[in-house]
Chain A
């Protein structure tokens, strides 16, 4: 059976509704809440600040540390508060998705901490986390080369789709491919690329193209949100 109509009625190339709030954490240097459908993320930035211990410092550039965590009540079965392997790995790939866009050479010896919490999970949480983190960095006034926009593309039962929700990720009547992507338009670079599922070469390429286009749309929305706050 082919995937004729999406389970939540969206078009194949349509992402879920995005909602952005800036400055949601009073104490932080920058913060944002990013929602994509039911997936909701909160991110806060502290820094640039002096890095301790000293041996971790880099003389001519700053470093980013990212911490991705899921709140225990963000998923249907309570998640233990202790970070698991998934969170450790995602923290790393999120940091690496952001790194190239930040002018780290301006912050020798310093660190920028990005703390990310998943409040409500409905698939695509790492992508929404990257968007939330980017917005928090921008809200903190940290100079960046461009927005890092992120969305998942994929294949549901042979059909290439944008921004899978949990229902689609769990679709059982056909194969599902989930391909989280982050894209930096000014650099023309893909800075997050993962894939789960089974995709033909053509499906992988088509999904990548669709994801990149989706990232361009998200970048526009992030730009607008910042303009509204700082205009």
Chain B
């Protein structure tokens, strides 16, 4: 369906419904959509997951290879998060280099997982200064119905949790493809990104695409299992007040618990 055609009326509809405390899909302002997680969508990947959040669908795969540590972090392994919104995901997307908002999706998911210290990258180091595991997390958006960071971040965590490192042949310094995979990725915290969109004066959690398109401000709050805020990202053409931010933090902490229960 061509969303741009119905977008014009959508803002008025969203605001009008919001006055009656309703959303376009009858959810409460603070309610997430139904979450479905399927694991192991590709047996070539070290770990993978398909996540559906309402009609938003992402595929996430984890690939692991051998690399060398960066010179400024000789005792740490590498974890790289990449995200792409494919032309499958909506009529408006065309193939080409990633746009800035697409780069931001990857960066926000990456910050939530890697920079929050949720992966013990020191344990990914095999030999200081010489050999490390390189973990690539690739997030691909298959269908866009809003909240791509939310779905992508849940998918990334799900895929990482299910991933197993390959066996390492120390003598020949290479991956032993026949060897038994026993080691998990060293995950020390479980960050869940919760997204908000502000349309008019209303804040919606887990926004649908129409809500995202008509929002003037977006906020992603990533929360770990100890209720700590591990990442924040505000985007959009308008700012948020202190009170709005405070409310989002509280809602995010609450909703992250519900999502986390569904992550096996």
| Chain A residues close to B by CB (< 8 Å) | 76-77, 85-86, 88-89, 91-93, 96, 99-100, 179, 182-184, 187-201, 204-205, 208-209, 212
What 1/0 flags go to B225-241 for Cβ under 8 Å of A?
A: 00111111111111111
8 Å CB contact of B227 from A99, A193, A195, A200? A200
8 Å CB contact of B242 from A89, A96, A182, A212? A212
The distance from the CB of B20 to the nearest CB of chain A, in whole angstroms, is: 26
Would B253 and A201 count as touching, CB distance under 8 A? Answer: yes
Would A77 and B233 count as touching, CB distance under 8 A? Answer: no
Would B239 and A187 count as touching, CB distance under 8 A? Answer: yes
| Known pairs A77-B71, A199-B229, A209-B242; A194 contacts B234 (CB<8 A) | yes
4 nearest A-B pairs in the assembled complex, by CB-CB distance: A189-B239, A195-B232, A191-B239, A193-B234
A91 to B101, CA, bound (A): 11
8 Å CB contact of A193 from B103, B219, B238? B219
The distance from the CB of A41 to the nearest CB of chain B, in whole angstroms, is: 20
What 1/0 flags go to B91-119 for Cβ under 8 Å of A?
A: 00000000011011011000100011100
Would A195 and B235 count as touching, CB distance under 8 A? Answer: no
A209 to B246, CA, bound (A): 11
What are 27 A-to-B residue pairs whose CB atoms are below 8 Å? A77-B71, A85-B103, A86-B107, A88-B100, A91-B100, A96-B235, A99-B237, A100-B239, A182-B239, A189-B241, A190-B239, A190-B242, A191-B234, A191-B239, A192-B234, A194-B231, A194-B233, A195-B231, A195-B232, A198-B116, A198-B189, A199-B229, A199-B230, A200-B228, A201-B227, A204-B232, A205-B249
8 Å CB contact of A196 from B111, B235, B250? B111
Would B234 and A197 count as touching, CB distance under 8 A? Answer: no
Give every chain B residue within 8 A of A205 (Cβ-Cβ). 246, 249
Would B241 and A190 count as touching, CB distance under 8 A? Answer: yes
Would A195 and B240 count as touching, CB distance under 8 A? Answer: no
> Considering the complex, which residues of chain B in the window 205-250 have a beta carbon less than 8 Å from any beta carbon of chain A?
219, 224, 227-242, 245-246, 249-250
Q: Apart from A189-B241, A193-B240, what 15 extra A-B contacts exist at CB < 8 Å?
A: A93-B234, A179-B232, A188-B242, A190-B239, A193-B233, A195-B229, A195-B230, A195-B231, A198-B117, A198-B189, A198-B224, A198-B229, A205-B246, A208-B242, A212-B242
The distance from the CB of B29 to the nearest CB of chain A, in whole angstroms, is: 20
The distance from the CB of A114 to the nearest CB of chain B, in whole angstroms, is: 14
A26 to B227, CA, bound (A): 51
B25 at the interface (CB under 8 A from A): no
Would B229 and A204 count as touching, CB distance under 8 A? Answer: yes
Would A190 and B234 count as touching, CB distance under 8 A? Answer: yes
8 Å CB contact of B241 from A77, A85, A91, A188? A188
A89 to B246, CA, bound (A): 24
Q: Of all chain B residues, which has the CB nearest A84?
A: B103
| Known pairs A77-B71, A91-B100, A92-B101; A100 contacts B234 (CB<8 A) | no
Q: Of all chain B residues, which has the CB nearest A195?
A: B232
B72 at the interface (CB under 8 A from A): yes
A209 to B241, CA, bound (A): 11
Would A189 and B238 count as touching, CB distance under 8 A? Answer: yes
Q: Of all chain A residues, which has the CB nearest B249?
A: A201
What 1/0 flags go to B171-203 for Cβ under 8 Å of A?
A: 000000000000000000100000000000000
Give every chain B residue within 8 A of A85 (Cβ-Cβ). 103, 106-107
Would A92 and B234 count as touching, CB distance under 8 A? Answer: no
A196 to B108, CA, bound (A): 10
A179 to B221, CA, bound (A): 12
Give every chain B residue within 8 A of A183 (Cβ-Cβ). 239
Give every chain B residue within 8 A of A197 (Cβ-Cβ). 115-117, 230
| Known pairs A77-B72, A89-B104, A201-B253; A196 contacts B234 (CB<8 A) | no
Would A193 and B229 count as touching, CB distance under 8 A? Answer: no
8 Å CB contact of B245 from A76, A89, A208? A208
8 Å CB contact of A92 from B104, B219, B239, B240? B104
Give every chain B residue within 8 A of A77 (Cβ-Cβ). 71-72
Would B104 and A196 count as touching, CB distance under 8 A? Answer: no
A188 to B245, CA, bound (A): 12
A191 to B218, CA, bound (A): 11
Give every chain A residue within 8 A of B231 (Cβ-Cβ). 194-196
The distance from the CB of A79 to the nearest CB of chain B, in whole angstroms, is: 12
Q: Of all chain A residues, which has the CB nearest B70?
A: A77
What 1/0 flags go to B110-135 for Cβ under 8 Å of A?
A: 01000111000000000000000000
Give every chain A residue within 8 A of B103 (Cβ-Cβ). 85, 88-89, 92
